[in-house]
Amino acid sequence: MTDLHAAAPPYATAGPSRPRDRGSIRPANLGVVLRILRDSGPRSRAQIAADTGLPKPTVTTLVAELVAHGLIREGPAQREGAVGRPGTLVHIDGRGLCGIGVEISTSYIHVLALSLSGAAVHEHRVAVAVAEAGAEEILDLTAQAIRTCLTVLSGEGIRPVGLTLAVPGVIDAAAGTVEYAPAIGWRAVAVADGLRQRLEQPLPRLTLDNDAKLGALAEYVQVQGSDVHDMVCITGERGIGAGIVSGGRLLRGATGFAGEVGHMPLDPQRRPCVCGRRGCWEVMVGLDAILRLAAADDDLIHDPAVELETRLAELRRRALDGDARTLDALARVAEDLGLGLALLADVLNPRMVILGGYFTHIGDLMLERVREVVHERVMASDAGGCEVRLSALGFAAAARGGAYLALDAVYQDPGAV
């Protein structure tokens, strides 16, 4: 499980820094100061000392080292309280560093580079029918997108500290392979090695992770400070997955398989799923389901060559214009979505369920009914305190989570980076 609680970095995989010997104390303290500035904003060295419990001389030395690394900067003096002399504020900087997140989805490849402060310094997306194209072509396109990103960053003097690749399905992170991704038709694809061979240039640290879990990391950062530490983040694409945060910890399960909620057998019609089984929840509420229900096969909204946002905007227009078939499709998916969410709420008791992916574009047209179904079906009163809301990140969540995870190396050991 990944520790995401307030005591630890919100998107760290290594958990809070815990010095085990004298040599590890300094890197840990550098990380503590950097995280304080990231999470709480600019503050004086005196306030940093009060926040961390470190002696003021130690904080002064740590701040000087972080400034030398280009990770923070000192700004003009400002009074933090009602009394006392103004203190020089310390700000997070790191403009010369970034983390890169790359998502291979069912209908696009998305590259996003974030600075240490979380600002986007490069973003690009390519529309492609991933399952139809095949793994080799997709790795070619992904390598090309990464190469373009690295070229842009180099031209701007920005150094990537890591690259995280998000893919739907079961991931072997240690081997860098996608073991099984039914939504895109991949099995035992050596993604990390394939990209390294294609790029033929020095790469930042490359890691591989599940798209729903990375999306959950990004969503958890969004609600930071709201005292929400139990949430389920649903990816709404061709496949349906979940990133589950419980008690501030990202649940991965014994072998990293936790969150494959799209294959819960809820469909009474037992329609075939791409996973080879019948009756899966994603057959009822996935992107293919809403498009199938809303329009005939030869309709524009089924054309993978058209940007997905454009197709969803057309679906939205039809709904607002009162098109009967579109409205019926939305009503049907709302019922089935509420059914599955209520089951997850009964099992996991999250404080919040966040609907991402395609739900962010048309989910507001279904949200009221989804919430009603959840409240009707969850056994606990008031749905166990569960709130259902739409993501503000949309299709960018997984790539953003990947970039955050890549940047986490800086917060774990600033000096080493």
- Tokens for 359, please give them: 């739900």
Residues 97-214+397-412: name the CATH superfamily.
ATPase, nucleotide binding domain (3.30.420.40)
Q: Which backbone phi and psi does 308 adopt, to 5 degrees?
A: -60, -40
Return the pLDDT at 14: 38
Residues 225-395: name the CATH superfamily.
ATPase, nucleotide binding domain (3.30.420.40)
pLDDT along the chain (417 residues), means of 10: 42 41 71 85 90 90 90 74 66 90 95 92 93 95 96 95 94 92 93 93 89 94 85 92 92 85 94 92 95 95 89 97 98 98 96 96 97 96 94 94 93 81
Q: Which backbone phi and psi does 2 adopt, to 5 degrees?
A: -95, 125
Instruction: HSE, CB side, 13 Å, CA atoms: give it for residue 26.
Output: 11
Return the pLDDT at 12: 40
Neighbours of 406 (CB within 10 A): 27
Return the pLDDT at 13: 43
Sheet strand arrangement including 43-44: 43-44, 87-92, 72-78
Return the pLDDT at 227: 85
Q: How far apart are CA 185 and CA 193, in angstroms?
A: 19
Q: Are 71 and 65 in contact (CB under 8 A)?
A: no
Q: Are 115 and 94 in contact (CB under 8 A)?
A: yes
Burial call 303-323: b when 16+ CB within 10 Å, e when fewer: ebeeebbebbebbbebbeeee
Question: DSSP for 24-46?
Answer: HHHHHHHHHHHHHHHHH--EEHH
| Domain 2-92 indexed as CATH 1.10.10.10 | yes
Return the pLDDT at 80: 52
Q: How far apart are CA 297 and CA 307, in angstroms?
A: 17
Q: How far apart are CA 141 and CA 73, in angstroms?
A: 38
Return the pLDDT at 204: 87
Q: How far apart are CA 306 and CA 300, in angstroms?
A: 8
Residue-range domain boundaries for the chain: 2-92, 97-214+397-412, 225-395
**Angle, vertex CA 329, rays to CA 376 and CA 392, nearest 5:** 70
By the 10 Å C-beta count (0-12 exposed, 13-18 middle, 19+ buried), 57 is classed as: exposed
**Domains 2-92 and 97-214+397-412 equal at CATH topology level:** no
Return the pLDDT at 88: 86
CA dihedral 317, 322, 323, 327 (to 10 degrees): 90
Q: Are 6 and 217 in contact (CB under 8 A)?
A: no
- Over the Cα atoms of the chain, what is R_g? 23
Q: Are 237 and 253 in contact (CB under 8 A)?
A: no
Crossing angle for the helix pair 324-348 and 287-294, to the nearest 10 degrees: 150
Q: Where are the beta strands (DSSP E) in 247-355?
A: 249-250, 352-355
Q: How far apart are CA 190 and CA 196, in angstroms?
A: 10
Q: Are strands 43-44 and 2-3 parallel, antiparallel or unpaired?
A: unpaired
Question: DSSP for 208-233?
Answer: EEEHHHHHHHHHHHHTTTS----EEE
Q: How far apart are CA 414 and CA 409, in angstroms?
A: 7
Task: State the DSSP H helix or E strand holding residue 369, giving kind and residue range, or none if neither.
Answer: helix 367-377
